[in-house]
Amino acid sequence: MGAQHPEQPARLTDPLKYVRAIHEIAPSEGTVHLDPDTAMNPWTLRAALRAAGAAVLATDLVMKGEVQTAFCPVRPPGHHACRTRSMGFCIFNNVAVGARHAIEAHGLDRVAIIDFDVHHGNGTEDIFENDEHVLMASIFQHPFYPYSGTEDPAPNMVNVPLAAGSGSREFRAAVTKAWLPALDEFKPQLVLFSAGFDAHAEDDMAMLRFTDADYGWVTEQVADIARRYADGRIVSMLEGGYALGALGRSAVQHIRVLAGLNA
Smallest separation, CB 125 to Zn ion (Å)? 14
Binding status of residue 196 toward Zn ion by CB under 5 A: yes
> Of 35, 115, 198, 203, which lies in the binding site for Zn ion, with binding defined by CB under 5 A?
198
> Of 117, 126, 203, 212, which lies in the binding site for Zn ion, with binding defined by CB under 5 A?
117
Task: Mark the segment that binds Zn ion (CB under 5 A) among 35-43, 112-120, 225-233, 252-260.
Answer: 112-120
Instruction: Dihedral sign for Cα 34, 192, 246, 158, please.
Output: positive
Binding status of residue 121 toward Zn ion by CB under 5 A: no
Indicate the residue among 119 and 233 with the shorter CB distance to Zn ion. Answer: 119
Task: Mark the segment that binds Zn ion (CB under 5 A) among 117-125, 177-185, 216-224, 253-261.
Answer: 117-125
> Of 119, 120, 200, 233, which lies in the binding site for Zn ion, with binding defined by CB under 5 A?
119
Indicate the residue among 203 and 212 with the shorter CB distance to Zn ion. Answer: 203
Selected catalytic residue, list 80, 101, 200, 254? 80
Within residues 155-194, the interface with Zn ion by CB under 5 A covers: none
> Which residue's beta carbon is nearest to the bound Zn ion?
240
Could you confirm whether 80 is annotated as catalytic?
Answer: yes
d(Cα 90, Cα 28) in Å, to the nearest integer? 20
Total chain residues near Zn ion (CB under 5 A): 5
Where does this chain bind Zn ion (CB under 5 A)? 117, 119, 196, 198, 240
Q: Give catalytic residues, as residue numbers.
A: 80
